[in-house]
Amino acid sequence: MSLVGKKAPSFKSKAVINGNEIVGDFNLDDYLGKKEVVIFFYPKDFTFVCPTEIHAFQENLAEFEKRGVQVIGVSTDTEDSHLAWLLTPKQNGGIQGVTYPLVADASKTIATNYGVLGGEYDYNEEGELVFDGAPIAFRGTFFIDKSGIVRHEYVNFFPLGRNIAETLRVVDAWHHYEEHGEVCPANWIEGGDTMKETRESVAEYLASH
């Protein structure tokens, strides 16, 4: 079930902030009404594709902050695992230098509520609890507006790294819509043509392209 247009699931959990400090009560609600939020889920600490994405978000962090957007990473690892990885130099496979929050979802409830857990719990014929699938998060990305409503989401399977530039493009498109009331067509980028939400404007746009 898509979360687009719905209230983003709230959560409070342990997290590492500023790249070196564990907090026990990191709360999504603290940002609502103040900032927009990009939450991205990744499968596991100390892996191969995940650090490329985590570093890419850090490299673009100033662009998100310039747009008033808070970036938050989440995986089903513990806060201790996050901290160990954050203290490991980049040349050794670590993510040292990352400063935005990394949330620990060891209970897997956050990933479940966002619909990105790679499997689900079930019972076998003996009545024993089992897990069908992978008990880690897919590569889910969610853009949440200031009122806490999800305006964009996409989910990749484990081997497929995401495009951070596309997330920035979505933020820009939403800001343009909010400011000008104009919708953004396919492949729109900042400064590109937009259109009003009428049949006539759509026809005119398509005719000119």
Residue 52, domain CATH: 3.40.30.10
- The answer to the question of residue 7 being in a domain is no
Q: Given the DSSP bridges, would you call strands 69-75 and 21-27 parallel, antiparallel or unpaired? A: unpaired
**192 and 121, same domain (yes or no):** no
Q: What is the pTM of this model?
A: 0.91
The answer to whether residue 2 is domain-embedded is no
For helices 164-180 and 49-59, angle between their N-to-C axes, nearest 10 degrees: 40
> For the chain, where are the alpha helices, taking DSSP H only?
49-59, 61-66, 79-86, 109-113, 164-180, 199-208
Q: Please write the tens of the pLDDT for every residue from 36-74.
A: 999 999 999 999 999 999 999 999 999 999 999 999 999
Q: Select which of 16, 28, 32, 50 is catalytic.
A: 50
Whether 50 is catalytic is yes
